[in-house]
Amino acid sequence: MAVAFIALLGCKRGRSTGKPKPIPTTTACDTLDRAECLNATHCTLTHVARAQYDCRKSVERCEVGLRQRDRTTCESRGACKWDPGGCYCPFPGYGSTKVKDKGAPGGACACAGGKPPRCVPAGPAPVPSAP
């Protein structure tokens, strides 16, 4: 009985306990791991090569001020659309930025190392009109 109780406690610790911890906008993007980068509203996680990612400052109109995994907010922006990425696994151990993923592996993915989900422009950037 005690073994089962301990096992259940271990499971609860591995689960998410709610909203992710906010990342201050003063934090340098290249100091964040993948999960922190996806949660930061001023940084964007980009795919470099299989299981290799770069956490850079958000610059595109559909990146700035948005948590990268926030599909609802992305789709509410008129000039943006949701790109689900491909073969991305969010669990620790399935890729890294310059900073190794924090935490113990918490799950398994059938496919990993690919592009993360993101918000992208729905079409070409508008051309500024002449004054």
Q: Is residue 8 part of a domain?
A: no
Give per-residue pLDDT as tens, 72-118.
Answer: 999 999 899 999 999 999 999 899 999 999 887 778 898 999 999 99
8: exposed, middle or buried (C-beta count within 10 Å: 0-12, 13-18, 19+)? exposed
Rounded distance between C-alpha atoms, residue 28 and residue 74, angstroms: 23
- Please report whether residue 10 resides in a domain: no
What is the per-residue burial (b if ≥16 Cβ within 10 Å, else e) of 22-61? ebeeeeebeebbbbbbbbbbbbbbbbeeeeebbbeebeeb
Q: Is residue 31 part of a domain?
A: yes
Spatial distance between the Cα atoms of 15 and 37, rounded to a whole number of angstroms = 19
Phi-psi region of 85 (alpha: psi -120 to 50; beta: other; left: phi over 0): left
pTM of the model: 0.75
The total number of structural domains in the chain stands at 1
The token pair at 17 is 């306990």
CB atoms within 10 A of CB 89: 19
- Host domain of residue 40: 23-103+110-121
The confidence score (pLDDT) of residue 46 equals 97
- Note whether residue 56 is domain-resident: yes
Asked if residue 96 is part of any domain, the answer here is yes
In this predicted model, what pLDDT tens digit does every residue of 15-74 receive, in sequence order?
444 566 778 888 999 999 999 999 999 999 999 999 999 999 999 999 999 999 999 999
**3-class SS of residue 42:** coil
